Amino acid sequence: MRIIPAIDIIGGRCVRLSKGDYSTETVYNEHPLEVAKAFEDAGLHYLHLVDLDGAQSSRIVNHKVLYQIASQTSLHIDFGGGLKSDDDLRIAFENGARQVTAGSIAVQQPDLFLRWLKTHGAEKIILGADCRNRKIAAQGWLEQSEWDVLDFIKKYETEGVQSVICTDIALDGMLQGPSLDLYKEIMEHSKVQLIASGGVASVQDLEALREAGCEGAIVGKAIYEERISLRELAALC
């Protein structure tokens, strides 16, 4: 299972939220590049980079942060937040993203999402399937759709999606453990490569996700709150 540390960006700074609520913002580092270099120095290879300003603004905002990290580390970056147009996608790839995570666009503009999938290939486009009470959320998690998370994933699996990042929003940033039952249900009914996100608080949580069959696991607040050390994460890679 791939271990994928996360950096969320607001105003160019490394922050974390609880349950996607922007009013709960906690700043952990003024310089995201320093954080990314620490991940790399510890022996980690991947990074989930989220432009939270972009998610609210419906356009990429923090592309300079993406460029700094991509140009000064060798981390494999998947980038999300604010991808709403062909121009946004171009900016993300030109500034060093290896992959992009697209969630809101798959809800609001499915034809555009499918064109990206066809043009760039399933290895470049990750489906973001973030849900609250099983309903897919969009627009920086500020809007809730009528899509059930499993139906949403299965629909796009038939269209060629191979990788999915799924976050149970109610657990995100809460350090209460991941949504194991939900992930097991998804993997029981789908063959996508599932990347779990939200709630990871311990090495034991990561081991449980691995045993459940997740292809990857994203770790955020547990790192910043020193619940899991970078050395422990690297040992799991």
Q: What is the pLDDT of residue 81?
A: 94
What are the tokens at 223? 């790192």
Reported as a pLDDT band with limits 50, 70 and 90, residue 19 is: confident
Could you tell me the domains of the chain? Answer: 2-236 (3.20.20.70)
pLDDT at 13 over 80: yes
The catalytic residues are 8, 130
**How far apart (Å, rounded) are the C-alpha atoms in residues 83 and 1?**
27
Reported as a pLDDT band with limits 50, 70 and 90, residue 142 is: confident
**How far apart (Å, rounded) are the C-alpha atoms in residues 97 and 94?**
7
Predicted TM-score (pTM) of the model is: 0.95
Angle made by CA atoms 105, 177, 209, in degrees to the nearest 5: 75
Instruction: Name every residue whose Cβ is closer than 8 Å to that of residue 155 and which is 6 or more positions away in sequence.
Output: none
**Per-residue model confidence as pLDDT tens digits over 64-110:** 999 999 999 999 999 999 999 999 999 999 999 999 999 999 999 99
Mean of pLDDT values over 114-125: 98
Q: What is the pLDDT of residue 140?
A: 74
Instruction: Name every residue whose Cβ is closer than 8 Å to that of residue 113 and which is 6 or more positions away in sequence.
Output: 102, 105, 106, 125, 156
**Per-residue model confidence as pLDDT tens digits over 161-218:** 999 999 999 988 888 999 999 999 999 999 999 999 999 999 999 999 999 999 999 9
The whole-angstrom distance between residue 236's C-alpha and the CA centroid of its chain comes to: 19
For residue 117, give the nearest of 61, 109, 3 by alpha carbon: 109
What is the chain's Cα-based Rg? 16
